[in-house]
C-alpha cells in the first residue's frame, strides 16, 4: 500500500522516513505497511486545501449538503468492508463495528440537513442607536487540520469532517498511525463523488507528520482528539499561531449507583461503560461509586458478569470484547495491573493479561480503591474498573467531581428527581441517567477541566467551523 495519501485530489506515495506497520491486534501481527507522508507532502496538502478554499466556501449550502449525503450513501455501500476492517485493525466485536459505521453515516446525514438550514449569508441586526444599520454573516473559518485517534477511527473523523465541509471549510485529515487504513475510504468516496480537488486531503504518518500539520502556518484552525500529553503539544502549536483549537482529550469518568437501583440493570450499565471497545474510550466510566446499601449485592453480580464476558478474536469468534488495539496500549494496561499489585488493591475479577496470541487482557474489577491510588486518578484506557462506596448524595457528587477530568458521567437511580439533581451537580460535559452510553449526533460532545476545549456534534459542532462577521454601516 504505497499510494496511501490523498492530496489535491490524487493518491500519492508516501515520501516520509517512517514505515507504518498496520497490525491485527487479535493476532499481534502486521497485515499491511505504508510509508508516512513527508513534511513536504503535508505542506502540499495544506497548500491544496488553501487553493480549494475560495471556490468551496462559495458553493451553496444545498451543494455542500448533496456531497455530505453522498458520503453517507457511499459509506453504506462499503458497509461490509468497513465493518471487517474495524474488526481486523481495531479488534472491535462486530456489533460495535456496525454501530461505528452507522454513527458515521448518521453524522454525514445530520450535517447535510444542518447545512441546508444555514441562514442566508446576511442577517440584519437591530441597533438601539439611530443612523446606523448592521448585519451579521456566518463564514467558514478556513483551512482546518483534523487529527483523529485510533480508538474510534471513521467515527471521530466523521464528527470533524462532516461539519467542517458543511460550514464551507477545506480540510487536511491526519488519521492515527495505529489505524491508518479505514479513513482512506473518505478519499475514495471523494473521488467517487467528484469532490473538488483539495477540499479533502488525507496524510498518514506518526509524530513527525502530526507535528508538521499542527505547526503549519497555513491552517486557520486545529481540531484534535486524543491524549492529554499530545493535546498539550497541539495547543502549544496553536498558541504560537494565535489559532483557534478544539481539543477532545481524556477522561476518568464516574458512574454513580444509588441503592434504589435494580441490581441487574445497574450491572448492565456498569459493564457497558467499562468494556465497550475494551475500555479504550475517553468516556469510559472507570470509577464506580456505589452506595453502601446496594454494594454487597451489586459487587458479586458485577464480578460474575465481568468474568463471564466472552473475550476473543472478533473475526473468528462471537465475542463480547476484543483485544486492545495496540501492543503499546497492552503494555500500558499491564503496567497498571502491576501497580495494583504493588498498591495491594483488592482484585475481584481479572487483573491480568490473557495467555494467548494477540493483545488481550481480562475485564477487571478492583474494590474499595483508595482515592490516592493511581488506578483511581489516572486514565488507563482499558477495561479496568475501580469501585468505592459512598454514604450520601453529597459525598457521591464530591467524589465524582474530585478529578482533573470532566468529560462524562452516568447516574443510576430509581428516584428520577434525585438523578436529575445529581446530573446538574456533576462537573462534566455529558451525563447519562439510567442508560448505557448512547451518543446521538444531535447532542453535544466535549468536556470540562482537563477533558478539553470546545464541543463536537449537534449545532455546536458546526459552529466550531464557522466565524462570525459583523458589518456596520452609517446611514448618514
Residues 54, 56, 57, 61, Cα dihedral to 10°: 160
Residue 451 CA to residue 446 CA, distance in Å, equals 7
How far is it, in rounded angstroms, from Cα 18 to Cα 66?
A: 37
What gap in Å lies between CA 323 and CA 317, rounded to an integer? 12
The whole-angstrom separation of Cα 45 and Cα 47 is 5
Q: Could you give the CA distance from residue 196 to residue 191 in angstroms, rounded to a whole number?
A: 9
**Does the annotation count 474 as an active-site position?**
no
Q: What is the DSSP letter of 36?
A: P
What secondary structure letter does DSSP report for 191?
H
219 three-state secondary structure: coil
Which one of 169, 261, 282, 386 is the catalytic residue? 282
Q: Which residues contact 68 (CB under 8 A, 6 or more apart)?
A: 108, 109, 111, 112, 115, 162, 165, 166
- How far is residue 89's CA from residue 24's CA, in Å, rounded to a whole number? 5
Q: What does DSSP assign to residue 78? A: T
Q: Which residues, other chains included, contact 42 with Cβ-Cβ below 8 Å and sequence gap of 6+?
A: 172, 203, 205, 209, 212, 213, 216
H or E stretch covering 274 = helix 263-275
Q: Roughly how many angstroms between the first and final C-alpha of the chain, as a whole number?
A: 65
Neighbours of 128 (CB within 10 A): 5
Annotated catalytic residue, options 248, 261, 386, 456:
248
Residue 80 CA to residue 271 CA, distance in Å, equals 27
Cα 198 off chain centre by: 25
C-alpha cell at 239: 498558541
Residue 423: in which H helix or E strand, if any? helix 416-425
In the 8-state DSSP scheme, what is residue 196?
P
Q: Which residues contact 22 (CB under 8 A, 6 or more apart)?
A: 30, 31, 32, 33, 34, 89, 179, 180, 181
In sequence order, the 6+-apart residues with CB closer than 8 A to the CB of 119 are: 138
**248 is known as an active-site residue:** yes
For residue 281, give Cα distances in angstroms to 149, 153, 285, 447.
10, 12, 9, 14
The catalytic residues are 248, 282
Amino acid at each position: 500500500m504505497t499510494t496511501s495519501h490523498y492530496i489535491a485530489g490524487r493518491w500519492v506515495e508516501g515520501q516520509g522516513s517512517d514505515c507504518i506497520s498496520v497490525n491485527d491486534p487479535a493476532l499481534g501481527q502486521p497485515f499491511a505497511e505504508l510509508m508516512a507522508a513527508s513534511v513536504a507532502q503535508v505542506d502540499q496538502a495544506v497548500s491544496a486545501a488553501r487553493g480549494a478554499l475560495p471556490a468551496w466556501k462559495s458553493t451553496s449550502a444545498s451543494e455542500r449538503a448533496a456531497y455530505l449525503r453522498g458520503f453517507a450513501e457511499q459509506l453504506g455501500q462499503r458497509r461490509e468492508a468497513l465493518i471487517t476492517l474495524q474488526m481486523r485493525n481495531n479488534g472491535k466485536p462486530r456489533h460495535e463495528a456496525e454501530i461505528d459505521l452507522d454513527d458515521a453515516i448518521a453524522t454525514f446525514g445530520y450535517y447535510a440537513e444542518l447545512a441546508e438550514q444555514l441562514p442566508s449569508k446576511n442577517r440584519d441586526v437591530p441597533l438601539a442607536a439611530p443612523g446606523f444599520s448592521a448585519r451579521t454573516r456566518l463564514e467558514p473559518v478556513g483551512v482546518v487540520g483534523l487529527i483523529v485517534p485510533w480508538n474510534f477511527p471513521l467515527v471521530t473523523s466523521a464528527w470533524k469532517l462532516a461539519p467542517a465541509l458543511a460550514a464551507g471549510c477545506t480540510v487536511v485529515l491526519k488519521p492515527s498511525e495505529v489505524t491508518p487504513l479505514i479513513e482512506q475510504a473518505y478519499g475514495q468516496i471523494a473521488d467517487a463523488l467528484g469532490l473538488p480537488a483539495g477540499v479533502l486531503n488525507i496524510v498518514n504518518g506518526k509524530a513527525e507528520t502530526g507535528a508538521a500539520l499542527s505547526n503549519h502556518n497555513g491552517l486557520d484552525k486545529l481540531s484534535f482528539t486524543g491524549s492529554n500529553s499530545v493535546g498539550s503539544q497541539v495547543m502549544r502549536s496553536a498558541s504560537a499561531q494565535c489559532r483557534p483549537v478544539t481539543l477532545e482529550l481524556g477522561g476518568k469518568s464516574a458512574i454513580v449507583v444509588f441503592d434504589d437501583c435494580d441490581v441487574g440493570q445497574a450491572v448492565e450499565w456498569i459493564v457497558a461503560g467499562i468494556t465497550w471497545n475494551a475500555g479504550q474510550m475517553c468516556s469510559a466510566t472507570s470509577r464506580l461509586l456505589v452506595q453502601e446499601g446496594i454494594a454487597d449485592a451489586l459487587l458479586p453480580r458485577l464480578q460474575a458478569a465481568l468474568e463471564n464476558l466472552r473475550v476473543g478474536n472478533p473475526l473468528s469468534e462471537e465475542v463480547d470484547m476484543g483485544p486492545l488495539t495496540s501492543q503499546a496500549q497492552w503494555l500500558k494496561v499491564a503496567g497498571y495491573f502491576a501497580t495494583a499489585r504493588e498498591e495491594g488493591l483488592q482484585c475481584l475479577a481479572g487483573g491480568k493479561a490473557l495467555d494467548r496470541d494477540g493483545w488481550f487482557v481480562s475485564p477487571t474489577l478492583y474494590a474499595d480503591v483508595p482515592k490516592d491510588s493511581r488506578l483511581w486518578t489516572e486514565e488507563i484506557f482499558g477495561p479496568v474498573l475501580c469501585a468505592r462506596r459512598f454514604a450520601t448524595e453529597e459525598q457521591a457528587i464530591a467524589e465524582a467531581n474530585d478529578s482533573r477530568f470532566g468529560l462524562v458521567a452516568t447516574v443510576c437511580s430509581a428516584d428520577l428527581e434525585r438523578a436529575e439533581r445529581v446530573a446538574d451537580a456533576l462537573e462534566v460535559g455529558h451525563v447519562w441517567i439510567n442508560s448505557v452510553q448512547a451518543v446521538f449526533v444531535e447532542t453535544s460532545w466535549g468536556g470540562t477541566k482537563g477533558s478539553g476545549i470546545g464541543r463536537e456534534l449537534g449545532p455546536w459542532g458546526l459552529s466550531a467551523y464557522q466565524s462570525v462577521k459583523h458589518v456596520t454601516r452609517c446611514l448618514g
